[in-house]
Amino acid sequence: MVKKADIPQHVIDTAMDLAREKGWRELSLTDIAEAAKLPLSQVYDVYPSKQAILKGFARMIDTKVIAEEDSDTGNEPAKDRLFDIIMRRLDALGPYKDALAAIAHDQGRDPLAAACSARRLHRSMACMLEAAQLSAGGVRGMVRVKALAGVYLATLRVWFKDDAEDLPKTMASLDRYLTRIDGCARRFAKKRPEAAAA
């Protein structure tokens, strides 16, 4: 029997296992409840939809990443702090890689699901920015969130195909994308000195 406190994690793990084995699009909440050996009502009480499960999963990953905060990185350049944060996130996602690839494939064909995914991505990237000691508030923060989301999505596409244990292609791509964004920010700051703090 699953303890009540363990149900959220158990449901997430079950859903990810099923996504890896069967795909995500046709998977139902009933399928997940049956595989988890829980009454549908109990699953529904915690996660009333598959999108709610993905939201819970994203929050779980966000929490894992910020729990590993390294206070010694505060004096590093912003690019290096973001590199470390994103790689920590990918490490946390590692056990779910195949399931996430299946979910990403299926959600790409569902506009409503893609819209939900975009909102989750925005919240998670704002969290990652704050973990890297960069504000996600205001207009500047919104620009940062969008830029980091673009970097993250581009890196994910490489990560899904990178089977090496130390992820050399993923790290090289992430570094390249962050360098481009950093270069754009520096050029903008030179043209607009008052924006240098952005």
Average pLDDT along the chain: 90
At 104, is the pLDDT very low, low, confident or very high (cuts 50, 70, 90)?
very high
**Domain assignment of residue 43, yes or no:** no
Please tell me the total count of domains within the chain: 1
**Domain assignment of residue 162, yes or no:** yes
Are the C-beta atoms of residues 131 and 65 closer than 8 Å to each other?
yes
User: What tens digit of pLDDT does each residue of 18-29 get?
Assistant: 999 999 999 999
CATH code where residue 76 lies:
1.10.357.10
pLDDT at 1: 80
Identify the domain containing residue 135 by its residue range: 50-195
**The tokens 């703090």 sit on which residue?**
197
Contacts of 96 (CB under 8 A, 6+ apart): 16, 57
Helical pair 138-161 and 168-191, crossing angle rounded to 10 deg: 160
pLDDT at 2: 86
The pLDDT of residue 194 is above 80: no
**Domain assignment of residue 160, yes or no:** yes
At 187, is the pLDDT very low, low, confident or very high (cuts 50, 70, 90)?
low
Query: Assign residue 23 a region: left if phi > 0, alpha if psi is -120 to 50, beta otherwise?
Result: left
**Domain assignment of residue 3, yes or no:** no
pLDDT at 157: 95
**Domain assignment of residue 44, yes or no:** no
pLDDT above 90 coverage of the chain, percent: 78
Are the C-beta atoms of residues 186 and 178 closer than 8 Å to each other?
no
Q: Which two tokens stand for residue 138?
A: 């205001």
The mean pLDDT of 96-109, rounded to a whole number, is 92
**Domain assignment of residue 16, yes or no:** no
**Domain assignment of residue 36, yes or no:** no
**Domain assignment of residue 21, yes or no:** no
